[in-house]
Amino acid sequence: MRPAIYRTYLGAHFYVRARFVPDVHIPESHPRHRSLVTRERMAQLTEEGLVSVTGLIAHGRGEAFDYLLGERTVPEAETAERAAAALLSLARRPVITVNGNAAALAARELGELSRACGATLEVNLFHREDRRMEKVCDFLERETGEKVLGRRQDGLLEGISSDRARCTKEGLLAADVVLIPLEDGDRAEAMVKAGKDVISIDLNPLSRTSRAATVAVVDELTRAVPNMTAQARGLVQRPEEARDILDRFDNRRNLEAILERICKGLTGQASTDTR
Ligand code: ATP
């Protein structure tokens, strides 16, 4: 007999306890279908040890900000994605650092982006254990068909006291441009201090990561990466245009515009609700 760990809503089974139910069915007609399917997948990959439990909490924070942005790529994000692609296309040694959440959500897309701009993929985990590291590296290699760095970490990022300082000399330490999807602020700031150009992908425009980045992409990872790949494919052929895009990009102004958009959306919504 199946344990009573789910309930039924509109004919679909929903996840209610910290336990994954593999045969959960979410009808495609459900208005939150995409988000719910993603949650199920994240829950499954947590069971499998790829995503950490705190990674699930970070995912929830991302969902909340995405909700405020209308779950779409806003024009400011498009501008940042173009600037990010320009930076990657001009880089000498670009590196994409990948954690459990980023691998679970967008491994294949990150593989495409790495090929489009010649970037190296390096795994870096907040909750680092040898077995989990092996698991995430294997998963990423299987999904992307690329070799990834991270199993052997022979370098340390200065200014970080935890295990998160660990990285590779060949990858992160030698990089001039680093893409950090879903990163925490400490590492982002340390990379900027180390003289690297940093591109973040983080739905929170207030995070230290977004504030510290050279280019902060405030968009959902699975939407942002394919946009960046499409832009990078063109810009690697047009370095002059890439430089021009970067000259015109202002990270602080772009983040302010996003905050303004969120505030306007909220006050607009509030006035509609109270009418
Ligand atoms: P900081 O240390 O930079 O101030 P933080 O404490 O929020 O930020 P984490 O908890 O490591 O750092 O956050 C991960 C970030 O990733 C969150 O800000 C969240 O909004 C963002 N995030 C989570 N899921 C996604 C996603 N799918 N796409 C884009 N961003 C996401």
Nearest CA to ligand 1 atom 1: 185
CA Rg value for the chain: 19
* CA 157–ligand 1 middle distance (angstroms): 20
Rounded CA-CA distance 34/37 in Å is 5
Q: What is the pLDDT of residue 26?
A: 75
pLDDT tens, 187-233? 999 999 999 999 999 999 999 999 999 999 999 999 999 999 999 99
Please give the average per-residue pLDDT across 93-115, as a whole number.
97
Q: Is the pLDDT of residue 270 over 80?
A: no
Whole-model pTM: value is: 0.90
pLDDT band at 24 (very low <50, low <70, confident <90, very high): low
Give the residues surrounding ligand 1 with Cβ less than 6 Å away: 58-59, 61-62, 65, 105, 182, 184-185, 201-204, 207-209, 220-221
Q: What is the pLDDT of residue 32?
A: 80
Is the CA virtual torsion 125, 104, 87, 200 positive or negative?
A: negative
- Ligand 1 atom at minimal distance to the Cα of residue 105: 27
88-102 per-residue burial string, b: 16 or more CB within 10 A, e: under 16: bbbbebbbbbbbbbb
Please name the fold of domain 75-260: Rossmann fold (3.40.50)
Domain ranges of the chain: 6-68, 75-260
- Ligand 1 atom at minimal distance to the Cα of residue 57: 10
pLDDT tens, 242-256? 999 999 999 999 999
Is the CA virtual torsion 145, 151, 155, 157 positive or negative?
A: positive
Nearest CA to ligand 1 atom 19: 62
Q: Is the pLDDT of residue 11 over 60?
A: no
* CA 203–ligand 1 middle distance (angstroms): 7
Q: What is the pLDDT of residue 23?
A: 54
pLDDT tens, 168-177? 999 999 999 9
Q: Could you list the beta-strand ranges (E) of 41-138.
A: 94-98, 120-123
Q: Is the pLDDT of residue 74 over 80?
A: yes
Residue 58 or 272, more confident: 58
pLDDT tens, 83-92? 999 999 999 9
